[in-house]
Amino acid sequence: MDIIPRNKYLSQIKPFKKKNIIKVLVGHRRCGKSYLLKYLVEQFKNSEPKSNIIFIDKELYEFDFIKDDKSLYEYIKSKMKRGFNYIFIDEIQDIKNFEKVLRDLYKRKNTDIYVTGSNAHLFSSELATYLSGRYIKIRINPLSYVEFLQFHNLENNDKSLMKYLRFGGMPYLMHLDLEDEIVFSYLKSIYDTLILKDVVLRHNLRNLEFLIKLTKYLAENTDNIISANKISAYLKNQRVNVPVNTIIHYINLLESTFLIDKVSRMDLRGKKVFEINEKYFFGDLGLRNSLIGFRAQDIAKIIENAVYNHLIYLGFDVKIGVFSGKEIDFVAEKKNRKIYVQVSYLISDQATLESEFGNLLLIKDNYEKIVVSMDKISFDNYEGIKHYTLRDFLTVSKL
């Protein structure tokens, strides 16, 4: 099987192989979860040819009969052997009460379990309690810029960067010509599946037209602070009356598909996280651009979204910073690390330089501070603040 390995995720999975813990790979549809499973299957077949492998792919019709815990359990039971069993279940959220089977399999000594899901809330609340301590969740993202170069066999240059910002990182694009009509048609089909299958049908929603308008509104405003009240006021100007609670509910459902991420604001003085007025970024830039087009006037929004996605790819928890009335684009934290990141299109004059670097200079702690811009070359450190060109920043594998 000709699959390009995504070593970042494989390295995260490897320490838990044959460990008594369920490996859960989450991310939106077509981001590469299934191929990671298939790559693991090939690796296990080669290294342990006598092991028994059970693979259930809920997107294949042959497994359509597996609809609930009973049918899932009966199928797996019929395929299990006395030796060691590797169990792979792709898109497990389509199986009702699957957690009952996972809990049973977990207790057996001869199983190693790997599952994928396209719902961010798959292992949350009650389900997390039911399987508490029995699983590890790994988020699979669309391709990073470096992976994009690898998949498309491209050189790291400005032309390749613009292709990435335009078309995003869905892995299957490696099989298509990178042209607007072709790529955006494919990406629009992914969007339609996310909206129809994972939101409308799963949650029995009726207002599809509003859901589409909402996603386009979020795409138009990726660099703006957004609230449900603000969206409601905008819709009223469009002669569309939707209650605030409905808007919040629909946004939460879009988040659950990984189409968008909600990023909260945090007061850096009091460490308080604000419960209203967030930003929303798209998990894949290509999906965002397929909705409203790739437009020159949006480049600052796209750059900010790209920087956010890379911070998530690097494993950071990200928030918007608020300090002395100024906004810090990103406060990224991971274990004992904290980084402040400011994003600018171009630092073209002294005023822009002082504005972008000045917000960071207000913060007097000793954590790393970074400015990222679309400039062709990076500047020397400015009063201890490091500057990255966007292309350089997107190739950083560790911060």
Instruction: Report helix, strand or coil for 46.
Output: helix
Q: Is the pTM of this model over 0.85?
A: yes
CB atoms within 10 A of CB 346: 13
Q: How far apart are alpha carbons 235 and 218 in whole angstroms?
A: 13
Q: Please tell me the predicted confidence (pLDDT) of residue 126.
A: 55
H helix count then E strand count, the chain: 16, 13
Predicted local confidence at residue 282, as pLDDT: 97
Which tokens belong to 362? 């207000």
Domain 7-139: homologous superfamily in CATH: P-loop containing nucleotide triphosphate hydrolases (3.40.50.300)
What is the predicted pLDDT for the residue at 276?
81
Which residues does the chain have with pLDDT short of 70?
1, 123-127
Q: Which of 9, 280, 29, 43 lies closest to 147 in space, CA to CA?
A: 9
CA nearest to 312, candidates 188, 184, 144: 144
CA distance 181 to 178: 9
| 58 phi/psi in degrees, rounded to 5 | -70, -5
Q: pLDDT, tens digit, for every residue of 116-167?
A: 998 887 766 556 777 888 899 999 999 999 999 999 999 999 999 999 999 9
- Please, which residues have CB within 8 angstroms of residue 347's CB and are 6 or more apart in sequence? 353, 356, 371, 373, 375, 379, 387
Pure H helices in 153-298: 158-167, 180-195, 202-203, 208-220, 228-237, 244-256, 285-292
Q: Write down the pLDDT at residue 125.
A: 57
Of 29, 34, 28, which Cα lies nearest the Cα of 6? 34
Residue 56 confidence (pLDDT) = 97
Residue 368 backbone zone (phi > 0: left; psi -120 to 50: alpha; other: beta): beta
CATH 3.40.50.300 range(s) for the chain read: 7-139
| Average pLDDT of the residues of the chain | 92
- pLDDT at residue 206 in the model: 87
